[in-house]
Amino acid sequence: MAAVFLKLLMFTRSGTMTDRAYVGMHIQKLTAPLVLSIIIMIASGSLGAQVHYSE
């Protein structure tokens, strides 16, 4: 994982705009599921809190 991150850093440092866009797409693909799961966790947590509060 660290090696991949270093490659991404080297791409953004030395790369052209297309390289940066390519790396950006990969970063988005990696972070999108993570962000979604966090949002779902927060949403379900707040829903649970509301249900508990109404009781």
Tell me how many degrees the CA angle 5-35-3 measures, rounded to the nearest 5: 10
CA pair distance 17, 43, nearest whole angstrom: 36
Listed in sequence order, the residues at least 6 apart from 53 whose beta carbon sits closer than 8 Å to its beta carbon are: none
* Residue 24 predicted with pLDDT over 60: yes
* Residue 30 predicted with pLDDT over 60: yes
pTM beyond cutoff 0.75: no
